[in-house]
């Protein structure tokens, strides 16, 4: 069954592919699908078949050679399987594309291979070994959704796990060349239906090509009905014919009809971008843009990680709702994304530790909530699983009276060091100062860019009144609570949330948790003999002073989370009084619905005019697409979960700016849209 475009299928784990291994023509064992009774690649010569059917018939060598666009060339594939096609496309890109070109691969897969099977299947191609290793190292858990992998500096792979048609309907992105793969139509009739071809057409760039090994009537008819022209061309090996073709004029994207305000802004020049704020939100955006060849000026009053992202240690974890909602989906996607992104950025784990996170059920109510969560979300055990008190205690290395949820892939990060590392990325230059004002350079010119008026810090101040100006093509605001102090962002509500952590120097031999343990608060494995726990949580309090009362609160929370642990620490010689604790306080920013803002900044005044009728009749569907401040973006309201949300939001924004497919399903990207509150208020007549 396929899903309607904006309907998300359940948040669940997927079945791995069931394989048996059969000898190919050269006597090597090759993967064969037991479920579909078909081969993953030709037993005659899989590599040569891929090159003939998918690469040559899409004219990839020539198109790569001629690729000059600032955006990446996008290949879409139905059925990732072993990844052979995509690895060959990557090798072909490296052989032919000019130095500045980029490649973006999008592939669907409903039955992902288990990691060991993937590695084994790819050993058949020794000259692809390095590429295969990059893929295997980042191979995601089998969870429905989008998983972004960084194959190298120029090549990105988005794996869309789930049914092909459903996934293409949820894709926000457009494709230049399609690999129409998947087991033969006779073996897999469920996949080859009209809705698939319609979804491909709707996600095609004008002139997008396709190639497929089959000439089945259902494929020819379906492609033609969807608007693709095709011709028969010589097939590979014993197959006489195959199909190749193109779509000149893809159909209009109907997705935005019901929510025109979410129409993305037109793509604009982005050679130079200013990012305001050098916390996690800003430094992740800066690094994501710089990786795409954009020159970034990263502006901060105090430097990287000075605000809420400046703790020496922070937990990478999420709290997911018992009943699935869009926010939970975004956070789970964010957690899995952060984990993969950290492993790619810092394989030596100098900046993070993947030791796991235990979320304890310290009350009967929380235990019931967790049981409901597990019943509603059949996710792989590597992602989240229920554990009893004994197992929890074994994992944490401490006696625990409660069980809970274990997230083996989560862990902790050094946010301050991470921000500094990202701020030092090639292509990012730092500016110490404060942005006073943002003004569009040419009022009516969509591509006119922005002028920033800066002052303070040691950034200069050579101009009048100690002010400087900076002119850029686009701007990303990532300044936590300061994000809505500009005229253009004033309509986006943000709430300050004060949070203080406590730090204790551990005496030698003192017990310590081996995993991050959280309940109301959290406590992390020590680094450099310092135990960090907390954090207090005070909405609407923007005072950044460290308070004794907050230390007392954190100590009480530590006792609730790990009963008896404080006594064990005291016995080991630690002094557990507020006076003996060190602290750090920061003010985080939250949106009213507690989801981040990640996307283009709406022109709220225009929305209020264009959509005023919604106040009287919320069922109206206005025709006007949403107007945005051209080239102005925001990543903010990450609250205390920035480690899980900021890296994914950064990719989301950089992908939009650089005209690439998004790393999230369209409804999730919509959920994070900064204009959601403006439209909600209009509908409610506020």
Counting beta carbons within 10 angstroms of the beta carbon of residue 186, is it exposed (0 to 12), middle (13 to 18) or buried (19 or more)?
exposed
| Residue-wise DSSP of 284-334 | HHHHHHHHTT-EEEEEESS-TT-STT--S-EEE-----SS--HHHHHHHHH
Q: Of 41 and 486, which CB lies nearer to ligand SAM in the complex structure?
A: 41
List of residues 6+ apart from 533 with CB closer than 8 A:
501, 502, 504, 521, 522, 523, 524, 554, 557, 558
Q: Of 58 and 82, which CB lies nearer to ligand SAM in the complex structure?
A: 82
Query: Rounded to the nearest whole angstrom, what is the least distance from the CB of residue 143 to ligand SAM in the complex?
Result: 14
The Cα 337–Cα 335 span in angstroms is: 5
Q: What are phi and psi of 629, to 5 degrees?
A: -70, 115
Query: Rounded to the nearest whole angstrom, what is the least distance from the CB of residue 190 to ligand SAM in the complex?
Result: 6
Distance, first Cα to last Cα, the chain: 40
Q: Of 17 and 475, which CB lies nearer to ligand SAM in the complex structure?
A: 17
The Cα 101–Cα 583 span in angstroms is: 47
Q: Of 24 and 163, which CB lies nearer to ligand SAM in the complex structure?
A: 163
Query: Rounded to the nearest whole angstrom, what is the least distance from the CB of residue 26 to ligand SAM in the complex?
Result: 18
Query: Rounded to the nearest whole angstrom, what is the least distance from the CB of residue 132 to ligand SAM in the complex?
Result: 11
The Cα 75–Cα 145 span in angstroms is: 18
Query: Rounded to the nearest whole angstrom, what is the least distance from the CB of residue 328 to ligand SAM in the complex?
Result: 24
Query: Rounded to the nearest whole angstrom, what is the least distance from the CB of residue 604 to ligand SAM in the complex?
Result: 40
Provide the b/e sequence for 63-102 (b: ≥16 CB within 10 Å). Answer: bbeebeebbbbbbbbbbbbbbbbbbbbbbbbeebbeeebb
> Using CB atoms, what's the residue nearest to ligand SAM?
79
The answer to whether 252 and 210 are in contact (CB under 8 A) is no
The Cα 570–Cα 576 span in angstroms is: 7
Query: Rounded to the nearest whole angstrom, what is the least distance from the CB of residue 578 to ligand SAM in the complex?
Result: 56
Query: Rounded to the nearest whole angstrom, what is the least distance from the CB of residue 540 to ligand SAM in the complex?
Result: 47
The DSSP H or E segment spanning 195 is helix 194-202
For the chain, the residue count is 686
The Cα 649–Cα 316 span in angstroms is: 15
Q: Of 41 and 553, which CB lies nearer to ligand SAM in the complex structure?
A: 41
For residue 631 the two structure tokens come to: 């080239």
Q: Of 84 and 360, which CB lies nearer to ligand SAM in the complex structure?
A: 84
For residue 3 the two structure tokens come to: 């899903």
Residues that bind ligand SAM (CB under 6 A): 17, 40-41, 79-85, 108-111, 163-164, 181-183, 188, 190-191
Q: Of 80 and 373, which CB lies nearer to ligand SAM in the complex structure?
A: 80
Query: Rounded to the nearest whole angstrom, what is the least distance from the CB of residue 154 to ligand SAM in the complex?
Result: 20
Query: Rounded to the nearest whole angstrom, what is the least distance from the CB of residue 507 to ligand SAM in the complex?
Result: 55
In the chain, DSSP finds a helix count (H) and a strand count (E) of 19, 32
Query: Rounded to the nearest whole angstrom, what is the least distance from the CB of residue 48 to ligand SAM in the complex?
Result: 13
Q: Of 110 and 414, which CB lies nearer to ligand SAM in the complex structure?
A: 110
Q: Of 108 and 595, which CB lies nearer to ligand SAM in the complex structure?
A: 108
Query: Rounded to the nearest whole angstrom, what is the least distance from the CB of residue 12 to ligand SAM in the complex?
Result: 15
Q: Of 182 and 596, which CB lies nearer to ligand SAM in the complex structure?
A: 182
Q: Of 108 and 284, which CB lies nearer to ligand SAM in the complex structure?
A: 108
The answer to whether 252 and 615 are in contact (CB under 8 A) is no
Q: Of 51 and 406, which CB lies nearer to ligand SAM in the complex structure?
A: 51
The Cα 464–Cα 58 span in angstroms is: 58
The answer to whether 280 and 352 are in contact (CB under 8 A) is no
For residue 491 the two structure tokens come to: 């309509």
Instruction: Give 113's strand partners.
Output: none
* Angle at 172 (CA atoms; ends 171, 173), nearest 5 degrees: 100
Query: Rounded to the nearest whole angstrom, what is the least distance from the CB of residue 408 to ligand SAM in the complex?
Result: 26
Give Cα separations from 411 to 100, 281, 299, 512, 567 (angstroms). 36, 19, 29, 15, 25
Q: Of 77 and 406, which CB lies nearer to ligand SAM in the complex structure?
A: 77
């Amino acid at each position: 069954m396929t899903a309607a475009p904006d309907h998300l299928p359940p948040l669940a784990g997927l079945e791995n592919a069931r394989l048996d291994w059969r000898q190919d023509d050269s006597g090597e064992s090759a993967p064969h699908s037991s479920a579909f009774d078909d081969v993953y690649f030709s037993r005659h010569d899989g590599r040569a078949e891929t090159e003939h059917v998918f690469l040559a018939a899409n004219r990839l060598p020539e198109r790569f050679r001629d690729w000059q666009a600032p955006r990446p060339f996008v290949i879409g594939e139905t059925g990732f399987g072993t990844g052979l096609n995509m690895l060959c496309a990557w090798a072909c890109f490296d052989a032919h594309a000019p130095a500045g070109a980029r490649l973006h691969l999008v592939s669907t897969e409903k039955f992902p291979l288990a990691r060991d099977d993937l590695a084994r299947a790819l050993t058949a191609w020794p000259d692809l070994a390095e590429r295969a290793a990059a893929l295997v190292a980042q191979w995601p858990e089998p969870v429905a959704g989008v998983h972004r992998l960084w194959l190298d500096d120029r090549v990105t792979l988005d794996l869309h796990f789930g049914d092909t048609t459903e996934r293409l309907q949820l894709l926000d992105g457009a494709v230049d060349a399609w690999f129409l793969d998947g087991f033969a139509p006779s073996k897999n009739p469920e996949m080859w239906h009209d809705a698939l071809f319609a979804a491909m057409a709707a996600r095609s760039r004008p002139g997008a090509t396709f190639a497929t090994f089959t000439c089945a009537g259902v494929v020819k008819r379906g492609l033609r009905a969807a608007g693709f022209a095709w011709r028969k061309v010589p097939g590979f090996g014993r197959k006489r014919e195959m199909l190749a073709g193109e779509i000149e004029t893809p159909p209009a994207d109907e997705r935005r009809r019901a929510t025109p305000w979410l129409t993305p802004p037109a793509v604009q020049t982005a050679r130079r971008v200013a990012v305001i704020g050098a916390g996690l939100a800003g430094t992740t955006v800066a690094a994501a843009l710089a990786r795409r060849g954009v020159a970034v000026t990263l502006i901060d009053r105090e430097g990287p990680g000075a605000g809420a992202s400046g703790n020496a240690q922070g937990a990478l974890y999420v709290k997911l709702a018992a009943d699935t909602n869009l926010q939970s989906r975004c956070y789970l996607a964010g957690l899995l994304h952060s984990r993969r992104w950290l492993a790619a950025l810092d394989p030596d784990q100098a900046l993070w530790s993947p030791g796991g996170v235990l979320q304890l059920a310290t009350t009967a109510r929380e235990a019931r909530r967790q049981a409901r969560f597990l019943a509603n979300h059949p996710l792989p055990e590597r992602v989240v699983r229920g554990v009893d008190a004994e197992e929890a205690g074994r994992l944490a290395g401490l006696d625990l009276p409660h069980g809970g949820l274990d997230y083996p892939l989560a862990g902790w990060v050094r946010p301050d060091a991470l921000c500094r590392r990202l701020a030092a990325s090639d292509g990012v230059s730092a500016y110490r100062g404060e942005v006073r004002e943002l003004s569009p350079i040419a009022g009516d010119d969509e591509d006119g860019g922005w002028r920033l008026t800066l002052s303070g810090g040691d950034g200069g101040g050579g101009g009048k009144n100690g002010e400087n100006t900076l002119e850029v093509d686009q701007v990303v605001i990532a300044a936590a609570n300061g994000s809505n102090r500009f005229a253009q962002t004033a309509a986006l509500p943000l709430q300050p949330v004060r949070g203080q952590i406590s730090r204790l120097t551990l005496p030698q031999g003192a017990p310590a948790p081996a995993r991050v343990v959280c309940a109301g608060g959290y406590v992390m494995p020590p680094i450099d003999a310092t135990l960090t726990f907390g954090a207090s949580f005070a909405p609407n309090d923007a005072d950044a002073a460290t308070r004794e009362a907050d230390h007392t609160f954190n100590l009480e929370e530590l006792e609730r989370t790990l009963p008896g642990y404080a006594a064990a620490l005291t016995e080991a010689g630690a002094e557990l009084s507020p006076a003996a604790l060190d602290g750090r306080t920061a003010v985080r920013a939250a949106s009213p619905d507690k989801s981040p803002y990640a996307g283009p900044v709406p022109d709220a005044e225009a929305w209020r005019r264009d959509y005023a009728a919604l106040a009287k009749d919320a069922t109206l569907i206005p025709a006007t697409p949403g107007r945005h401040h051209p080239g102005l973006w925001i990543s903010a309201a990450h609250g205390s979960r920035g480690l899980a949300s900021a890296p994914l939001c950064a990719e989301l924004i950089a992908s939009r700016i650089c005209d690439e497919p998004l790393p999230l399903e369209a409804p999730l990207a919509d959920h994070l849209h900064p204009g959601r509150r403006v439209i909600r208020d209009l509908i409610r007549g506020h």
